[in-house]
Amino acid sequence: MDTAERAVLHRVSKRSKGRCMTTELPYEIMRQILDYIIPSGCVYHFLPTRYKRQPAQVVQRLNNANVSFPACVDVSLAATCSALQDTVCSILYGANDFLFNISAESITTAIRSKTFRKLETWSRVLRTAPRPLGPIGVHAAKYIKDASMVIALPIGYGTQEVGTLRAIVQKAVDVLRHATNMEHLTIDFQIPAWVGGHKGALGIDRLGANVDPKTGKLYVRVLDPTLEPVWRRNKAERALEPLLGLAGVKELLLLGMMSETFAEELRVAATSTGRS
């Protein structure tokens, strides 16, 4: 490197010190760069598991195989400056679908698809105590537009198990209350059966992955989207009561087993405009 080149680099470094040079690009160019490195149109799947007999969290990303993204996204890019933060978060959290498996037990999962050749997956096991919404926090929740929650009780549940799951659901609601841009929310309440002879293992084999032919966006949905109403409210539904604290959801889909009375209460609360 000659003296002239060093002088140019010195001037650039001095001029950019304390400034976010990326945001000084024309917005269209900056957005093209961010769209290239930040995944969109994907599904992020979070579920609790065990790794070497210790609680852990699995993060799985599914995306259209026709679109290539980096394996891992460094969200620290959003911390560069406030202007860049809003754009990064609007892509990462606002342009992807999120699927949360909420349970006090470990989960084994399978997502079915007739077009697996069109899908790519990336997974990582986080050796940390699982959180109901994974790494999604209050700030990220503000950008989320599409989400699904599969909430499950363990086999042979009792009052203690219901209370444990209720506490986990409450933690999820404490975050989702800040999801002020939520357009579509699916809540699927499941009481699982024995899976592979293991008690407490939940096999999520009712999820289907498909690619929207118009937008190219990947989405995961419950294969049999039906509500299985029970005649009256029951002990299991106590675990879902924190969900009554949700509001501002534009479209709510309820699946699984819950009473018609509770389902209606939840619809009214979650789609109301006020937030507590």
- Structure tokens, 275: 């937030």
What pLDDT does residue 195 have?
Answer: 47
What pLDDT does residue 257 have?
Answer: 84
What pLDDT does residue 231 have?
Answer: 56
Q: DSSP letters of 24-89?
A: GS-HHHHHHHHHHHS--S-EEEEEEEEETTEEEEEEEEEEETTS---SS--GGGGGS-HHHHHHHH
**205 close to 220: Cβ distance less than 8 angstroms:** no
Query: Which pTM was predicted?
Result: 0.80
What pLDDT does residue 179 have?
Answer: 95
Which among 230, 228, 264, 265 is positioned nearest to 245, based on CA atoms?
265
What pLDDT does residue 206 have?
Answer: 60
What pLDDT does residue 138 have?
Answer: 93
What pLDDT does residue 114 have?
Answer: 52
What pLDDT does residue 34 have?
Answer: 84
Mean pLDDT (10-residue bins), the chain, 276 residues: 45 49 77 84 85 82 74 66 82 91 73 60 79 90 94 83 94 96 92 51 58 70 67 80 96 89 94 72
What pLDDT does residue 131 have?
Answer: 87
Q: Locate the domains of the chain by residue range.
A: 38-270
What pLDDT does residue 238 have?
Answer: 92
